[in-house]
Structure 1
Amino acid sequence: MPIKLFIKMLFAAMLLTACAAPQQTKKPISVTTPNDAQQQLQQILDEEWQYFLDTYPAYASYLGLGNDQQNSRWQDMSLSAINAIDAHNRDVLAKLSSIDAEQLTDSQQTNYQLFKWQLEMSIEEHKYKSYLMPIDQNQGVQTLDDMANFVSLSSVKDYENWLTRLEKIPRLLEQNQTLMETGMSQGMMPARDTMLRIPAQIQKQLVDTPEESLFYRPFINISDHISSAEQARLQLKAKAIIADHIIPAYAEFNEFFINQYLPATRSTHGLWDTPDGKASYQQKVRYFTTTDLTPDEIHQIGLDEVARNRAEMDKVMEETGFDGTFEEFVNFLRTDPQFYYETPEELFDAYLAISKRIDPEIVKLFGKLPRIPYGLKAIPDAVAPDSTTAYYNPPAADGSRAGYYYVNLYQPETRPKYEMEVLSVHEAVPGHHLQLALQMELDDMPYFRRFLSFTVFVEGWGLYSERLGYDLGLYKDPYSRFGQLTYDMWRSVRLVVDTGIHYKGWTRQQAIDYFKANAAKSEEDIINEIDRYISWPGQALAYKIGQLKMLELRERAQNELGDKFNIKDFHDTLLGSGSIPLSVLETNIENWIASVKSAK
């Protein structure tokens, strides 16, 4: 999952997991009325949620929870503001630590522990100064226009807020440039190979007329609920802001990027080659996996999973009757026209058909389904060449926007048919949409647990869901089964190449070659994936680590419960607490197993 611009901005700004998986060792006392500790915790959680929305206004808008003041601002990306967030987190951690946790109820202790770990991880992450590398090929100020796809633009006030936000883009560009200049002076620089993708993205903002600007697109077809006179006024104001502020600001940023920043970027690729790089990477490993696994241990897990998947893939290859080596079979899959659609329209329609086929089968595996639906959209043309195959964006918290499964239609001849089923169960249902929409509907939980996520859980669930495709009647032909194995292999390879790049000193080409030798994904996808791992160290580890724990817990439950095992109850329990660290998940499942055993 990675998951898109605003979620990535959020994760970069406020880390959401702990240095190690949470351990619930204290036995909570049973209370039925609020006491001082409970009231103190609730006050902190309420105040901090409001602080969070105020500090990250783009995410507040994305959730559909922003007020007018938040909906007209960007995050303050000045160095002083970033340091102020760290100071604030330290103050809140001190307040939180003063609470007598033994006086909290069971559920409140979990809230206390999770929130405390969020603060601790954010404080630890701050010292490694990743904020000095604020942009990459998938997100950053060069793609701010994309936010219009995720904010409400249905009233005059909505458009006025958006216009006010547009007026503030030059300041945001200046702040990002200052961060990048500071990074240059301190040796905190990204890899040149990924930064070479950025100039073309900035160029999309350097247009001759305002009407050509990506920022003008929301003003082309304004809601009919707005009068013609107001529409004309809003359009005129948008053209003036774009011409007088946005285009000149991007031209200046482009000059800085091309002439100063890009030449100073690193020829190496891993985080190891930055100040305190190995320690920074180890912190990100703990963050993304919620475990104490070391990079070396994860690398070995990856090697083992690659070998297991390869053996399964060899069996499927034999089933197809292909006469040749594995490398020849993979090349056959990458190049034979029968495995690809010719046009973006055909590819989109095929994704839509798969989604409609999956939806009615979900009731076989789940007792509780989300109320809010999801839809299918194409990844915007402006970023599609540099984007991965697909991604998911959650619904708005206020119900004003459904969840959306975004698919990449760029160069359909590189998007294999045999990957489409497995991709859909990961990104839509029973993957990200089902899990994240259900989490948002957990009304009895504090906001930070309903709307913020542990990557290892979210992406682990997405990868676990790929296996559920067999239960849903997918993967009927050997090529689709090979596609499922290819995706599982893909996430196994990630463990090897991510740790290889950022901890063991692998080059970008080494990682690409290893990926190509072990997975049937197209070269276009592989290169985009490797560059993603370079730009977002450690995130790719979460998928396989989370999936392996969920598979382990399902197998344990089936073995211990036998005929009493119910797949719907298991999944409802697994998802019932929202996104949580792996050790909390394990405790939840163990408690469920015990309760089923004890039931008459």
Structure 2
Amino acid sequence: MKKNLLALTVVSALLPLTACQTASNQSPMEPVSAVESTSEAKKLDEITQQYFDEALALNPLMATFVGVHKYDDEFNPPLSEQFLADVKAFEKNYLEKINQLDPSKLTGQNWLSYEIFKYDRQHALARMEFHQEYMPLSQMGGAHTYFAMLGSGQSAQPFNTAQDYREFMQRAKGFADFMDSTIVYMKKGVDKGVVLPKPIAEKVLPQLSSHVVDDVSQSVFFAPLTKLDTLENISEEEKTTLKEEYVKTINEVIIPAYDRVYQYMKNDYMDDTRSSVGLSALPDGQRWYEYQIQTHTTLPLTAEEIHEFGQNEVKRILKEMRAVKEEVGFEGDLQAFFKHLRSSDEFYFDSEEAVIDAYTNIKQKIDARLPELFSLFPKAGYEVRAVESYRAASAAGASYQPPAPDGSRPGIFYINTHNLKAQPKFLLETLSIHEAAPGHHFQIAIQQEVEGLPQFRKFNNYTVFSEGWALYAESLGKEMGMFEDPLQWYGRLVDEQLRAMRLVVDTGLHAKGWTRQQAIDFMVNNSSMSESDVVAEVERYISMPGQALAYKVGERHIRQLREEAENKLGEKFDIRDFHKQVLIDGGIPMPLLTEKINRWIESQG
């Protein structure tokens, strides 16, 4: 699950670069007395747990997704100046509380938690200098998509008792209030000159209109009613009453809420959308983009150096693609090879079922190879599913949803089957490794399962760590005995090329004034991706500035740490131990990971 404004800042998980640099100067290993350490650690635990509990009260949707169901009848508060002020005061309060602790009296995990928590709060406050609330919806996510996921009955919202159904109906009223507040804030954005680019707003419209149906049985929100008939703990009389109330809620609360926002965006907002696409085109946009780079990489990088790194990687990977072209005996240049791969039916599945079956089958092959490289495994399993139809048109090609913390729901590896030509067979191995095992599923599920880890860290998300790890996991494919078929290796190169192009395109769009078409042309010319897939990718980067930088930057950093460990430890280096060290403490910023791995290397000497 990707976080956006819906989570606001109360569970912000990203710390600024300066914070990371400061953190590396404080040693978690310095000896302190047991009494001092225990006392300070207890205060830290109390502060972080209080923060987590209060954050969930401010963010009921996040509570549901992390398995806390006491707020299942509430939606997040509507956007308002008062609510934003409350969130800011909330973050300031906890920054002041954490500043009262003495980090010299903390060691090990406690010191790490202190550093992460303190700078999360600093970063959350810095985030509020910018005004994402004026663009509360995008094709990549927002209240309109999260609520539909919950209401589909296939996500975190429970539908097992009569009370569950009544709680969702109550939550629907809060959703309607929130959606009305998005109209208010989009209007404020128009006045302030902070509006969505036109092509992005156009993609939101069908996401809204798909829920405005005349026949309620065709609504995604009707699905839980099919389950209602199977519940034996509810009497037939109560089922009848519940169904009547539920259908009424869909017709009179949910559908009108979607329709009000749809009508506003279609009839009014579209006229005020902007022709520019980069963040730098907005007020204070250059500084905003610098913040986004810092947010998603946690490293001291500029747009210019990232752009250059990306250009160099694109050229390198193209050279490796040419080598594959020669290996398979294709006659013609690389562009002809790309065209062949885009257009030939042999490289694509012919049905949604075939896609899901292929990814389910490859799971077994990958799972059998993992013990060679890993000693630490998640307890939770995962399953492969197709992306739901109501969000497939604008969703990413693949994604991962974490398992329920209580074990009641497995992780989900989503494959988008909306456009079968966007799911070539040669991506089968690399995409499975990235999204599932040992990529996102390993990293996120293990993070949730680590015993003794403070709850605020169990559900933290650092893009550079999570996506960097998943791309690094792809690079392990040959070590796992995968990519033996040259076209499957080409698939790995396709994925790596996508991440390299992202470095160029994201910085191009948001720092160098590139147009949407310029970005599309660059990706089409340097890959075999279908144009429809390229368009979806480019529009994703427009909507989520800086997020796409994290993959390649994170992979490079983890790979550099591994190479350093291999060089210093020599025969003592154990790849399984290295991977355990990277994963065992959950997601952390790259500078803190660097310090941690360096200390591990020293301990092995």
TM-score, normalization: structure 2?
0.95
Counterpart of 1:122 (choices 113, 124, 136) is: 124
Q: Secondary structure at the match of 2:33?
A: coil
Q: CA deviation at 1:7?
A: 6.8
Structure-1 residue corresponding to 2:7: 10
Q: Aligned letter for 1:25?
A: N
Structure 2 Cα separation of the partners of residues 284 and 231 of structure 1: 49
Q: How far off its partner does 1:97 sit? A: 1.5
Alpha-carbon distance in 1 for matches of 2:310, 2:422 = 26
Q: Secondary structure at the match of 1:383?
A: helix
Q: How does 1:500-515 map to 2 (within 5 A)?
A: 500-515=508-523
* Structure-1 residue corresponding to 2:46: 43
The more displaced of 277-286 and 218-227 is 218-227
- 1:392 aligned counterpart, secondary structure: strand
Give the distance between the partners of 2:79 and 2:5, measured in 1 at CA.
Answer: 18
Aligned-residue offset at 1:15? 3.1
1:576 aligns with 2:584: yes
Show the counterpart of 1:78: 79
1:364 aligns with 2:372: yes
Match of 1:516 in 2: 524
Q: Within 5 Å, which residues of 2 pair with 1:178-577?
A: 178-222=184-228, 223-227=230-234, 228-577=236-585
Q: Distance in 2 between matches of 1:71 and 1:500?
A: 42
| Structure 2 residue identity aligned to 1:138 | M
Contact 1:15–1:287 (CA<8 Å) still a contact in 2? no
Aligned to 1:167: 173
The separation in 2 between residues aligned to 1:351 and 1:303, in whole angstroms, is 32
Task: Tell me how far apart the structure 1 counterparts of residues 445 and 148 of structure 2 sit (CA, whole Å).
Answer: 26
Q: 1:226 is aligned with what amino acid?
A: N
Aligned 8 A contact 1:271 1:281 in 2? yes
List alignment gaps of at least 5 residues for structure 2: none
Q: What TM-score does the superposition give when structure 1 sets the normalisation length?
A: 0.96
Q: Which runs of 5+ in 1 are unaligned?
A: none
Superimposed CA distance per residue, residues 168-222 of structure 1 (whole angstroms, 9 cap, x where no aligned partner): 2221111111111111111111111111112211111111132222212111222
> Does structure 1 residue 19 correspond to structure 2 residue 19?
no
* 8 Å contact kept, 1:57–1:73: yes
Distance 2:68 2:365 in 1: 33
Q: CA deviation at 1:285?
A: 0.3
Question: 1:72, CA displacement in angstroms?
Answer: 0.8
Match of 1:136 among 135, 138, 160: 138
RMSD of aligned C-alpha atoms?
Answer: 1.6
3-state SS of 1:195 partner: helix
Question: Which whole-Å deviations, capped at 9, do the CAs of 1:119-171 have from their partners, x for residues lacking one?
Answer: 11111111111121110012123322112322222222222211111132221
Quick check: 2:75–2:172 contact (8 Å CA) kept in 1?
A: no
Q: Distance in 2 between matches of 1:596 and 1:92?
A: 37
Residue 227 of structure 2: SS of its match in structure 1?
Answer: coil
What's the counterpart of residue 56 of structure 2? 53
Q: Distance in 2 between matches of 1:500 and 1:167?
A: 42
Distance in 2, matches of 1:10 and 1:423, equals: 27
Task: Answer with 244-253 or 520-529: which moved more.
Answer: 244-253
Paired residue type of 1:16: A
Q: Deviations over 1:383-419 (max 9, x none)?
A: 1111111100001112111111000111223310001
Q: Distance in 2 between matches of 1:317 and 1:308?
A: 15
Contact 1:285 1:541 in 2 (8 A): yes
**Aligned CA distance change for structure 1 residues 474 and 230 (closer, same or farther; 3 Å):** farther
* Shift in CA distance, 180/478, structure 1 to aligned 2, threshold 3 Å: same
Secondary structure of 2:233's counterpart equals coil
Give SS of 1:74's match: coil
What secondary structure, in the 3-state scheme, does the structure 1 residue paired with 2:34 have?
Answer: coil
% same residue: 33
Offset, 1:35: 5.2
Partner of 1:540, secondary structure, is helix
How far apart, CA to CA, are the structure 1 residues paired with 2:10 and 2:207? 23
Are the counterparts in 1 of residues 201 and 270 from structure 2 also a CA contact under 8 Å?
yes
**8 A Cα contact 2:348 2:420, kept in partner:** yes
Render the CA deviation track for 1:494-538: whole Å, top value 9, x for unaligned: 011001001111001111111111122221211111100000110
Could you tell me which amino acid in structure 2 is paired with residue 203 of structure 1?
S
How far apart are residue 309 of structure 1 and its match? 1.2
Q: Counterparts of 1:8 and 1:398 in 2: how far apart (Å)?
A: 26
Instruction: Give deviations 1:536-593, integer Å, cap 9, x for gaps.
Output: 1100111111000111111122222222211111111111111011111111221222
Q: What amino acid is aligned across from residue 328 of structure 1 in structure 2?
A: A
Distance change >3 Å, CA 142–CA 10, structure 1 → 2: closer
- In the alignment, the residues of structure 1 paired with residue 257 and residue 110 of structure 2 have an alpha-carbon distance, to the nearest angstrom, of 47
Secondary structure of the structure 2 residue equivalent to 1:42: helix
Q: Is the 8 A contact 1:15 1:125 kept in 2?
A: no
1:112 alignment partner, SS class: helix
Q: Hey, what's the Cα distance between the residues in 1 that align with 2:67 and 2:562?
A: 35
Write the distance in 2 (CA, Å) between the matches of 1:407 and 1:11: 27
CA contact (8 A) 1:394 1:402 kept: yes
How many correspondences in the alignment?
592
Inter-CA distance 297–125: structure 2 relative to 1 (3 Å threshold): same
Distance in 2 between the 1:532 and 1:391 partners? 13
Deviations 1:398-451 (A, max 9, x none): 211111100011122331000111000000000000111111111211111111
Retained in 2: the 8 A contact 1:289–1:546?
Answer: yes
CA displacement at 1:8 relative to structure 2: 7.2
CA distance in 2 between counterparts of 1:8 and 1:556 reads 38
Which AA in structure 1 matches 2:179? Answer: L
